[in-house]
Amino acid sequence: MTQIFARFMKDESGATAIEYGLIAALISVGIITGASTIGSSLSRVFGDISTKISTSGAGGAAAPAK
């Protein structure tokens, strides 16, 4: 029984796969967080642009022809 336990403790074949899985999960969380932050910032910027166009008086309409 002790030999089986000792062999189990020395076996590291699954540890590498678990480490790679954890690294991939951390990278995924970072990408999702970054994309969410960028998305919120872009939404705010385009909202500001839309407001400025709407309140400029022209409303995005072309100049009248002479």
Q: What are the residue ranges spanned by the domains of the chain?
A: 13-54
Please tell me the distance from the alpha carbon of residue 55 to that of residue 47, in angstroms, as a whole number.
12
User: Model-level pTM?
Assistant: 0.54
11-65 pLDDT tens trace = 777 778 889 999 999 999 999 999 999 999 999 999 999 988 888 765 556 666 6
Please tell me the distance from the alpha carbon of residue 27 to that of residue 23, in angstroms, as a whole number.
6
